[in-house]
Amino acid sequence: MKRWLIGCLSILMIFTGCAWWSGPEEEKTAEELIQEGVADFDEGKYQAAIDSFEQLRDWYPFSKYAILAELKVADAYYHMDSYSDAIFAYEEFEQLHPRNEAIPYVIYQIGRCYFDQIDTLDRDQSNAVKALETYRRLVQQYPIDAYAAMARSDMLACYQSLSGHEFYVGVFYYKNKNYKAAKERFKAVIEKYPDVGYHYEALTYLANCEEWIRSFLQPPEVPSASQL
């Protein structure tokens, strides 16, 4: 029993001695982490890049590279199509650094996260609405910035998607002879989204809807006495 115990203690001392001599794993510097993260990002290894950037942010929160790491985390999520994570990261960056020179880019990227998720005309258009709201905020706050100009181009596509959705629903109601509901949809196309691709077709459908509605509202013809 004593020999077995002595043997176990000897083995334990050997392993602990090896661990002691090897020492703790050397930590990477902030510069090494940012270089690794950017290299992985440029090669499309976005998750590996995120790991490096987040490690930098955790280990060296006051490093001159920390702000860049925060922004690149958001960019990596965006390129991974992880839009909810990207929006959260961009919004967090904006809250933490509201006066940073990258804010116009950050707001534009938030808009792009919504924009890239815009669905077909027959589906919900909430992402188009959110993209449009974000782009409007960018244009209002930074009207002469280059990213505001890019946002204006995307805004037109948002208007086209929203207009197309209204027109699509209007045609659906029209085909089902729900002319009052169809009329309201076509009016929305004309009043809210003029000149984005559906205006003239909506005018034609609107005229047809009004004609059908008038025909339904006309009182039945009363027969004359000679016809009785």
- At 103-123, the pLDDT tens digits run 999 999 999 999 999 999 999
Provide mean pLDDT across the span 188-196. Answer: 89
Provide mean pLDDT across the span 124-144. Answer: 97
Stretch (H or E) spanning 92: helix 83-96
Q: How confident is the model at residue 12 (pLDDT cuts 50, 70, 90)?
A: very low
Long-range contacts of 56-61 (CB under 8 A, 24+ apart): 56/30, 59/27, 59/30, 59/33, 60/30, 60/33
The pLDDT of residue 197 is 83
The pLDDT of residue 196 is 85
Residue reference for tokens 């196309």: 189
The pLDDT of residue 27 is 86
The pLDDT of residue 43 is 98
Percentage, residues of the chain above pLDDT 90: 75
CA 160 from chain centre, in angstroms, equals 18
Between residues 59 and 11, which one has the greater pLDDT?
Answer: 59
Tell me the C-alpha distance between 37 and 57, whole Å. 12
Q: How confident is the model at residue 5 (pLDDT cuts 50, 70, 90)?
A: very low
Q: Indicate whether 49 pLDDT > 50.
A: yes
Q: Indicate whether 88 pLDDT > 70.
A: yes
Q: How many residues does the chain have?
A: 228
The pLDDT of residue 151 is 97
Domain ranges in the chain are 29-82
The pLDDT of residue 214 is 87
Q: Indicate whether 3 pLDDT > 90.
A: no
Sign of the C-alpha dihedral computed for residues 101, 104, 107 and 112 taken in this order: negative
Residue reference for tokens 């392993």: 15
Provide mean pLDDT across the span 9-15. Answer: 41
Q: Indicate whether 63 pLDDT > 70.
A: yes
Residue reference for tokens 């815009």: 118
Tell me the C-alpha distance between 165 and 189, whole Å. 9
Percentage, residues of the chain above pLDDT 70: 83
Q: How confident is the model at residue 228 (pLDDT cuts 50, 70, 90)?
A: very low
38, 40, 46, 66 from 96: Cα distances, Å: 22, 25, 23, 12
